[in-house]
Structure 1
Amino acid sequence: MSARPFAALAAEATPFRPSSPLVGSAKADPAPVSVVATPYVWRDPTTIKPREWVYGRSIQRGHVRAILAPGAAGKTILSVGEALAMATGRNLLGQEVPGGPKRVWLWNLEDDGEELARIIQAACKHWSIGPEHIRDQLYVDSALEGAILKLATSTAAEGLTINRPLVSALTDELQGRGIDYLHVDPFVSSHAANENDNMEIDAIAKEWALVAKNAKAGVGLAHHVSKAGAAEVTALSGRGAIALINACRSVLVLNRMGEDEAKRYGIDDEKRRRYFRTYDDKNNRAPPSDKSDWFTMASVSLGNGENDEGDNMGVVIPWSPPDAFEGISVEHLRQVQAAIEAGSYKAHHSATDWAGNAIADVLGLNVNDKGDKARILRMLGTWIENDMLRVEESKDGNRQMKKFVVVGRAADDHSATPKSSVASQGVAAEPSSATLHPAPFRGAGVAVVDSEGGKTDRYVAGNPALGVSDRDLSKGRF
């Protein structure tokens, strides 16, 4: 069934009116109101139905999630990637699809059918997805092709009007097709109400929640942010009334890779716009996590032009930030300790006899390369944190007090780098491990020691003992 007939239902829309008997009335003699509290009935916790997840721990059946992103950040191609993952039942973007393939409906309100086809076919080409893999699993509609979606309108005369016939028809279609997830992009185009009015947006959001609940499907509402500057996008960055965010069970936010992050990971500035990260900034229905999932955009040619001059489309693929300890073994640490023991190395990164030079010599790194130097700082901070190296003050050749790096505990066979799953799942490092990541999540850097010997919060190796701060490192001042 096409979505186009839904547009004709707008004429039958009825004004929204509060239905609660507690709402005041202008009548002189209002009917009496009875309020009765419902006693809680004890239940065996093992008999409570578990939450039903449609996609990872992000999309829950019967609930609404919002997706917040600045313009051109990648939300449309991310939504296509998620849709194909659900439709095929494959873990394409790092999320499992519980129970196998799902039926997904993409309803786009700002791109035409041709553009959507380009995005979808490029992703299918990249992931080797054929028509047989998504037949009867993927549904796509576009407002620019006539599939208008206006769940509500607002006028000065009538106030907010919920399009009840559309709500009913939409719910019936979701149920009839067995749709597991409906993605609407963008939310602002799905209504004609005052987006800054919390009462109106709350009513619309609650209507979407009823659609999700009654259709037993997940609903995603893509939403623009109020400002697209350099500030971090959070759940509070959504455009207009905050009521939408408050009504959603999950809020996925997208952030482009910033200049500081690009420097930290050794990525050229002109390429950093291909990278973005996501995290759920308001998921009170899943285990807490502060891990961001990183993605990059691969370029896929559709082959639809002459002499290979056709359209090249972006396809979202998972990406992991470089690991400072990738390929590092206990033997490397022993060699670093031997080099430190044999020489005299200062802790400050600007010193000509900096301890990072010893690490660079052992590992074949270049201290003049910003990416390599950031990696060396992270390793040095970790080894100091784990007492494989220490910072001590003593007089230099000019009889001035300086901080030097010296050998701490001897490296042993237990001082090994962790498996990648340990670093990315937030497992605490063993106290005796020399090269383990203290970082709680992938790409977060390392926890370090401040000048008084106390641990700082997690982040990349901003360490006063090494003469470098988080700000210095993020700004490339080394």
Structure 2
Amino acid sequence: MVLDGVTIRATPYRWRDPTSIPVRPWVYGRWFLRGTVACLIAPGGVGKSTLIAGTALAMASGDPLLGKTVWDGPKRVWLWNLEDDLDELSRSIQAAAIHHDIAASVLNDKLFVDSGMEGMALCTATETNGQFKLLVPVYEALSAELVRRGIDVLIVDPFVSSHEVEENANSKIDKIAKAWGRVAKAANCVIILVHHTSKAGSSEVTAMSARGAVALINAARTALVINRMDEKQAERLGIPDNERRRYIMVQDDKHNRAPAEKADWYRLASVDLGNGGGGNILPGDNMAVVEPWSLPDPFENVTSRHIAEVQARVAVGAWRQSPQAKDWVGHVVADVLGLNASDKADKARICALMKAWIENDKLRIEQMPDSKREMRPFVVVGEPVKL
């Protein structure tokens, strides 16, 4: 059709053999895809920088250090941090290398690190007297260097420090994000923009918790969010509150809003860099590193014979549902499985098993009179287990 001198024509679809369609060029698990922009969103103090260091090391080494596959071998990774100096970045990287037993030779010039605090500033757009300007030469220079070095992954941390534009202006942030997308396409790499959350965000971090314009999240293919284990989860798992902060959950909030049980969990371990000295010299630095962690499975090593034994003991006694009762049925479960009903973690596991068995009708709840003739919920045998 021609309208006002403009011609627009629809293109008929050409049928293709599905087996001939190229596979999506994944770089790292199902998080990072070549030719696209990804965002990592987190509040301060949850382990964002620690996760970035571990992830960069995993991709550069080619090893699934954090449980994610590095497709087609080691990658060239460029970490460009605009907040921390090189000493601080080195602390995180070397701590991760110590923890995961990565030698310098393994990286083999695969890792590149620059710091805005050391003179390597980055500005991709400006706004002066209301005039927005996309610094095209900067993007072109970035593309050229990415291609020259054969960089597979560029991490820019944080995004807010990479431009001088009002971060709530959707139309302007959209132009910046789209320019980053063009760089990713031109260099055939992944660009990860690390982003902070809004102070007004909810306690649970989602993609919508990101500070500033939503245009950045809309332009990204992946929006990873980091959440620390909450109090209810810790209590349910029997994890002490002073240890709860060590556990973080990462998930793609844009394409894979999975429940906590299906998300990627990590634990923050501690590594001593060994850079301290004796006498009155300051102690060495102890750095956090991330390691893969899974939510405990209450049914691990629990067999049908264990359930049958619990049913047999419940059948010949009077056992209460309440964990506060002296004759709590959890004591039976603990005895059969060799657990300690007084231990917080074991008690949490017992409660999880009881909940599942009641839902599966292996055990049932019935209202019965106690020793004082008051009606209380007791646990009785449900459908017998077949051995």
TM-score of the pair, normalised by structure 2: 0.92
Q: Deviations over 1:25-80 (max 9, x none)?
A: xxxxxx84443333333322222111001000000011111000010211111111
Correspondence list, 1:317-356, <5 A: 317-356=291-330
Q: Does 1:127 align with 2:96?
A: no
Correspondence list, 1:147-296, <5 A: 147-158=120-131, 160-227=132-199, 231-283=203-255, 289-290=258-259, 291-296=262-267
Contact residue 230 and residue 258 of structure 1 kept, 8 A:
no
Contact residue 389 and residue 407 of structure 1 kept, 8 A:
yes
Q: State the match for 1:83 in structure 2.
A: 56
Q: Does 1:60 align with 2:33?
A: yes
Partner Cα distance (1:193, 1:361) in 2: 64
> Secondary structure of 1:277's partner?
strand
CA shift, 1:126, in A, is: 1.4
CA shift, 1:400, in A, is: 4.7
Partner Cα distance (1:209, 1:339) in 2: 64
Q: Deviations over 1:331-359 (max 9, x none)?
A: 32222112101101233444433322321
CA shift, 1:401, in A, is: 4.2
CA shift, 1:309, in A, is: 2.4
Q: Does 1:113 align with 2:86?
A: yes
Partner Cα distance (1:369, 1:137) in 2: 46
Deviates more, 1:91-100 or 1:272-281: 272-281
CA shift, 1:374, in A, is: 2.0
Letter in structure 2 aligned against 1:128: D
Q: Deviations over 1:211-230 (max 9, x none)?
A: 11111001101000003776
Partner Cα distance (1:383, 1:348) in 2: 15
Match of 1:49 among 1, 22, 29: 22
Contact residue 55 and residue 96 of structure 1 kept, 8 A:
yes
Contact residue 89 and residue 102 of structure 1 kept, 8 A:
yes
Q: Deviations over 1:403-446 (max 9, x none)?
A: 32211233234xxxxxxxxxxxxxxxxxxxxxxxxxxxxxxxxx
Q: State the match for 2:283 in structure 1.
A: 309
Gap change, CA 1:164 and 1:229, over 3 Å in 2 = closer
Q: State the match for 2:68 in structure 1.
A: 95
Higher strand share: 2
Backbone CA RMSD of aligned residues: 2.0
CA shift, 1:391, in A, is: 2.2
Letter in structure 1 aligned against 2:47: G
Letter in structure 1 aligned against 2:264: D
Letter in structure 1 aligned against 2:41: L
Deviates more, 1:55-64 or 1:338-347: 338-347
Gap change, CA 1:241 and 1:230, over 3 Å in 2 = closer
Letter in structure 2 aligned against 1:266: G
Q: Please, which runs of 5 or more residues in structure 2 have no aligned partner?
A: none
Partner Cα distance (1:342, 1:126) in 2: 51
Partner Cα distance (1:176, 1:377) in 2: 58
Partner Cα distance (1:351, 1:163) in 2: 69
**Sequence identity percentage:** 54
Match of 1:382 among 356, 375, 378: 356
Q: Please, which runs of 5 or more residues in structure 1 have no aligned partner?
A: 1-30, 414-478
Gap change, CA 1:406 and 1:389, over 3 Å in 2 = same
Deviates more, 1:325-334 or 1:230-239: 325-334
TM-score of the pair, normalised by structure 1: 0.75
Contact residue 239 and residue 344 of structure 2 kept, 8 A:
no
Contact residue 202 and residue 209 of structure 2 kept, 8 A:
no
Contact residue 71 and residue 228 of structure 1 kept, 8 A:
no
Contact residue 324 and residue 378 of structure 1 kept, 8 A:
yes
| Higher-RCO chain (CA-CA 8 Å, sequence separation at least 6) | 2
Contact residue 304 and residue 311 of structure 1 kept, 8 A:
yes
Partner Cα distance (1:327, 1:232) in 2: 33
Q: Deviations over 1:146-182 (max 9, x none)?
A: 1111111112342x21111111111111111111110
> Secondary structure of 1:332's partner?
helix
CA shift, 1:200, in A, is: 0.6
Partner Cα distance (1:212, 1:125) in 2: 32
